[in-house]
Structure 1
Amino acid sequence: MIDHDPMTLRDLFRDKDRRYLLLTASLAFLALGTSQALYGPLYPWFRESLSLSGSAVGLIASFHFFGATVAVLVAGFVLRRVGFKAVIIAGACIFSAGYFGFATSSRWGGILASALLLGLGFGTLVSFNLFIDDYFGPLGAAALNLTNMFFGIGAILGPLLAGISLSLGGHRLAFLAGGAVALLLLAMTLRLRQHHPVAETDRSGAGTALAGTVVFLVFLALYIAAEASASNWIPTSLTRNHAPPFVASTMAMVWLAVSAGRLAAVPLSVHLAPHFMVLGSVGCATGMFLLARFEPAAPLAYIATGFFLGPVYPATVSWIRRVFPSRAARIAATVMAGGGLGGIFGPPLVGAATDTFSTAVIPLAIALILVASLLTGLGITVFFPSRPTSAGKGQEPGREDHQGDQERIGLVLPVGPGPVPGSAPRD
């Protein structure tokens, strides 16, 4: 279970290129978390100002989700041709356009178009996950947890920004502020070093890769189903015995715990293999949901679930690269896009359980979804074992620590973060 790669936490920040990439990605995930959390608090204002029904307002999130799904899939397939930098810059441009579209739109059609643009930019910028994991190599899981920590912080800032904007008369200020951050992000992405996915010889056939993609997709969809169900149904579970202000503060603590869990996972990820981090976290979260069935323990147990669920998504991206190194960008993009379907079927399943039984069944229902995810993950470790890791293109190639691994698996590592001269990516 221990990852024996002789990396240390200091290697995350070894040179200015690494530090700049981490800073830019952290700002990106902060902006992504903020954008996703803006919609909900603004729904009542949109309904009243535009005379919309609840189902119509819900189309904002639908357009955003559709755009994000399409963008994740497309980005995963063009990365090898144009490199990470071009994709990230395009995402920042579209993201900015979506924000300013929201800020300047007063008609329903313009708002939906802006939601689609914001979703397209969102999904394209999610490519930062693939960029970071590929660039940092064996330290990918640690770098991903560090940068993804800011997504949770953004999810807390989003409702606060929406509240300030509404107190000043509408939605425009929130999206203007978001657009300003998106422009700053765009300026920072222009200074990123060019980088293409690492090309390695993959011994697996297309059939094995397809099967692995499906199983990873099922695993992530089940995990996201549990995560989405938690964010949607934990408040309902708590309102059985607690007042609304207490419930709201508890949910804020859950989001803080998600960020804290990712921060705590940074040093652990240096020493633990990604699959161990993922399965251990899912197992602990399952235990916390079962503990939440006991009312006195429920608030603290729910906060603990946020802590344990935090590292799962970033570490899963790194896990995919360990299993399918040369196909990681395409497979991870497909898995991330398809895994998002869990957010569609998870909450309704838990809702159906509450209709059949009562709201007391909420923590048990979510725990059962996590058990299914855990069993799927264990199956992956059996049928799709991780391979020896190689350094990413951001890794210093001359270190003697890795020389044995490089010779054993037949890798020729490039010098610096650029592509290997004269080489073409291949599967």
Structure 2
Amino acid sequence: MFSPAAVVASCVGFILIGALQALYGPAIPAFRDEYDLSPSAAGLGLSAHFIGGVVGVLLFDRLFGRIGNRRLLGTSYLLMAVGAAGFALAPNWPAGLAAALLAGFGFGGIDYGLNQLCAVGFGHRSTAMLNILNAHFGIGAILGPALIAAFGAEHYPALFLAFAAANLPLLLCLRGVRDRVPRPGTETAESRPGGSVLGRSLGSVLGVFVALYVLHVGIEAGVGGWEPTHLETVGYGAGAAATATSVYWLMMTVGRFLVAPLALRHSPQTIITVSCAGMTVCLLLASVPWLAPYAYAGVGLFIAPIFPTGLPWLNAAAPRARRAGALVIAASLVGGVVAGPALGRAIEWSGVRAVPLLLCAVSAICLLATLWLIRATRPGSTPP
């Protein structure tokens, strides 16, 4: 499916989409000064990016299989490059939002295209490859804010332009991507790990997969957004809280690299079950103030494999559901969008100290959903 050069280029592509997504937040002070924006208006830049990402995933899913994979990925890289450059050079904020939306289209196409191709293109190594690929997203998410810190938020246009230009050499590596993939239905259910589900049960299985993705990405975004506030509330200084949050994101990246060799020996079902259980325990421990920074790091480690490991399981469980991958990837983006307002409303009711317990309850639902999916996708079974 991929030549060695194309594999390297795909990992670089994921570094770029991770960095681009992570650049918006640290650059908000500069947006506000340049365009005289309120905090909520400045936050629309990342929202436009996410909305573009969801639309990009669904749009390119419609085109997947109708046009070649090289054209799909090439168009996505170009859209992200043009959008990032447009955001850097925008003369006003509405133009900047339009450019962020355009960059989001490309982001969604790359996110969907490479995840989908890796999920079907590496055989029994697909889970390992997906964890490695998404670990590079984490490298980019760490790199983006680090560059803003090093050069200053006021220089964000130069950074956006640099990342836009970095997309262009990747186009030369697309020759190493196979242009067509075998249709999912060409393999028998028995030849795929984890079995498959009957047509009448497919809707419920997909629904629970979507719920698992929305909820676990909501936890991921919730910890990233509220960990500093929670730690400061229970007595940590602002610097310590910020450092602990950086460690959380670092552990997400490390966790995906660590799981890659384990994925060659253990099923996706086992990995996700252990991940959800460990995540739930760590969030419970995070309610203990002196344990909280270490427990949040544990959350990052355990939540890391869920997104990339679930895709091969989904493809095995529903090999003929062509749009299944697009639904769960779009769901993951939606989870990131809705997590902030939903958790904020819950915190207004319960207080900041309840953050880990609220997220623990959501994590427990993820664990129950995983156990249900294991039962529902067992060969020869139907959902309970």
What TM-score comes out, normalization by structure 1 length?
0.82
Give the structure 2 partner of residue 350 of structure 1: 343
1:266 to 256, 260, 263: 260
Residue number among 138, 149, 159 corresponding to 1:174 in the alignment:
159
For the structure 1 residues 359 and 153, does the alpha-carbon distance in structure 2 shift closer, same or farther, using more than 3 Å as the test?
Answer: same
Alpha carbons 1:68, 1:122 under 8 Å: kept? yes
Helix, strand or coil at the partner of 1:49: helix
C-alpha offsets along residues 139-177 of structure 1, whole Å, 9 cap, x if unaligned? 11000001111111111111122234436x432111111
**2:153 is the alignment partner of 1:160:** no
Does 2:102 match 1:133?
Answer: no
1:382: which partner in 2? 375
Residue 47 of structure 1 is aligned with which of 32, 38, 49? Answer: 32
Out of 232, 242, 248, the residue aligned to residue 236 of structure 2 is: 242
CA distance in 2, matches of 1:35, 1:344: 16
CA contact under 8 A between 2:80 and 2:107: conserved in structure 1?
Answer: yes
Tell me which moved more, 338-347 or 310-319: 338-347
Seen in structure 2, the aligned counterparts of structure 1 residues 268 and 228 have a Cα distance that, compared at 3 Å, is same
Contact 1:288 1:301 in 2 (8 A): yes
| Matched AA of 1:158 | G
Structure 1 gap segments, 5+ residues each = 1-15, 388-427
Structure 1 residue 358: Cα displacement: 2.3
The offset of 1:73, in angstroms, is 1.1
SS of 1:271's equivalent in the other structure is coil
After superposition, the Cα gap between the structure-2 partners of 1:229 and 1:171, relative to the gap in structure 1 and judged at 3 Å, is same
Aligned to 1:417: none
Matched ranges for 1:16-415 at <5 A: 17-126=2-111, 127-166=113-152, 169-201=154-186, 206-240=199-233, 241-327=235-321, 329-385=322-378
| Cα distance between partner residues in 2 of 1:172 and 1:345 | 28
- Structure 1 residues 145 and 78, CA gap change in structure 2 (3 angstroms): same
For the 8 Å contact 1:145–1:311, the answer to whether it is kept is: yes
Secondary structure, counterpart of 1:81 in structure 2: coil
Paired with 1:363 and 1:386, the residues of 2 have a C-alpha distance of: 36
For the 8 Å contact 1:237–1:359, the answer to whether it is kept is yes
Provide the identity percentage: 31
Note if contact 2:3-2:177 (Cα within 8 Å) is conserved in structure 1: no
User: Are the structure 2 counterparts of residues 242 and 46 from structure 1 closer, same or farther at C-alpha, using a change threshold of 3 Å?
Assistant: same
What is the CA-CA distance between 1:386 and the residue it aligns to? 6.2
* Separation in structure 2 between the aligned mates of residue 211 and residue 320 of structure 1, nearest angstrom: 13
SS in 2 for 1:284: helix
Q: Do the aligned residues in 1 keep the contact of 2:81 with 2:167 (CA within 8 Å)?
A: yes
Further displaced range: 33-42 or 357-366: 357-366
Q: Is the alpha carbon distance of 1:386 and 1:349 closer, same or farther for their aligned partners in structure 2, counting shifts above 3 Å?
A: farther
SS of match in other structure, 2:152: helix
Task: Assess, with a 3 A threshold, how the Cα gap between structure 1 residues 342 and 78 changes in structure 2: closer, same or farther.
Answer: same
Bigger drift between 90-99 and 156-165 goes to 156-165
Distance apart, 1:356 and its partner CA: 2.3
Q: How far apart are 1:368 and its partner, in Å?
A: 0.5
Cα displacement string for residues 43-86 of structure 1 (whole angstroms, at most 9, x for unaligned residues): 11111111112222122122111111011112223212224222
Paired AA for residue 255 in structure 1: W
Between structures 1 and 2, the one with greater helix share = 2
State the Cα deviation string for residues 191-238 of structure 1 (Å, max 9, x = none).
Answer: 433232434257766543333221211111111111111111111111
Whole-Å separation in 2 of the counterparts to 1:191 and 1:379: 39
Aligned length: 370
Is the contact made by 1:82 and 1:196 (CA closer than 8 Å) also made in structure 2? no
CA contact (8 A) 1:320 1:332 kept: yes
Structure 2 unaligned runs (5+)? 190-196
Equivalent residues of 1:285, 1:308 under 8 A apart? yes
Is contact 1:83-1:197 (8 Å) kept? no
- Between the aligned partners of 1:216 and 1:357, the Cα distance in structure 2 is 29
